[in-house]
Amino acid sequence: MLFNSTDFLIFLPIVFILYWFVFNKSLKAQNILLLISSYYFYSCWDWRFLFLLAFSTVLDFYSGLAIFRSSTIKQRNFWLLLSVIINLGFLGFFKYYNFFVESFAQFLGAFGLEAHPATLSIILPVGISLYTFHGLSYVFDIYNGKINPTTNFVQYSLFVSFFPLLVAGPIERATHLLPQVEKPRTFGYNMATDGLRQMLWGFVKKVVIADNCAEYANLIFNNSAEYSGSTLVLGA
């Protein structure tokens, strides 16, 4: 689901109305609504990768608790390394497996050694870098004593998967976003209109400016050998 799609223009008002005018009496209900909405938003791309998002969330939630409750440096280091290795392992596999296998085969070929790399048709999960580093930043903040871990799994899950950030970023630190998830929110008309104004300006920049510029930039870079240096600069 793209932010500038018809689906999103239906999805967002529904979530907005339910959030502010149906579930506004309960912080827990609001957070559950946002969490379900975020998972639905992500599933519109490919529901199978919800399991990867959920696994990463569970891993870092319990790693954070384990680090905080550890009585020795050795135990703290173990849980930190476990989170880092597994998270970066998944990220590296999905993003770079084929690249490294093919590069290694070319390297062997330079020495006259023939290799038949077993490459896979790997789909890169949307937003995997963002939610991976959301979780890792949370674990590192706990390890460095900047925050205490939350014991509320729903609130932590929402911090990781909050749909406005899930596929486009930016990466938010837990010290900034998590306290906003944990405390009650009240509707403010001025803030709502300001937010809608910013969204509208964002849509203008995306749909009117960026998408139209992209047609020319793609044309230039897809046929870069045919153009002069000045044209390539224009494309950039």
pLDDT, tens only, 91-103: 888 777 777 666 7
To 10 degrees, what angle do helices 27-46 and 153-161 make? 40
Integer Cα distance of 38 and 159 in angstroms: 10
Query: Is residue 141 located within the same domain as residue 210?
Result: no
Whether the CB-CB separation of 101 and 117 falls below 8 Å is answered with yes
Query: Is residue 55 located within the same domain as residue 41?
Result: yes
Give the pLDDT band of residue 28 (cuts 50, 70, 90): very high
Query: Is residue 178 located within the same domain as residue 226?
Result: no
In a domain, 142, yes or no: yes
Structurally, the chain folds into a number of domains equal to 2
Query: Is residue 124 located within the same domain as residue 160?
Result: yes
Q: For position 55, what pLDDT does the model report?
A: 94
Question: DSSP letter string over 158-199?
Answer: HHHH-HHHHTT-PPPPHHHHHHHHHS-----HHHHHHHHHHH
Q: What percent of the chain has pLDDT over 90?
A: 56
Give the pTM. Answer: 0.80
Integer Cα distance of 43 and 172 in angstroms: 22
Q: Which amino acid is at 189?
A: Y
In a domain, 29, yes or no: yes
Query: Is residue 83 located within the same domain as residue 182?
Result: yes
* Domain limits for position 200: 189-236
Query: Is residue 151 located within the same domain as residue 229?
Result: no
Q: Tell me: the pLDDT tens digits for 68-119?
A: 999 899 999 999 999 999 999 988 887 777 776 667 666 666 666 666 656 5
Integer Cα distance of 167 and 129 in angstroms: 9
In a domain, 1, yes or no: no
Q: 56 Cβ partners below 8 Å, 6+ apart?
A: 87, 90, 131, 132, 135, 160
Q: What is the DSSP letter of 147?
A: S
115 three-class SS? coil
In a domain, 38, yes or no: yes
Query: Is residue 59 located within the same domain as residue 151?
Result: yes
Prior bond to 170 cis, omega within 30?
yes
Mean pLDDT of the chain: 88
Q: What percent of the chain has pLDDT over 70?
A: 90
- What does the buried/exposed string (b/e) look like for 187-205 if buried means 16 or more CB atoms within 10 Å of the residue's CB? eeeeeeeeeeeeeeeeeee
Q: For position 225, what pLDDT does the model report?
A: 86
Query: Is residue 194 located within the same domain as residue 149?
Result: no
Domain stops at, among 146, 162, 187: 187
Query: Is residue 165 located within the same domain as residue 196?
Result: no
Q: Tell me: the pLDDT tens digits for 156-171?
A: 999 999 999 888 878 8
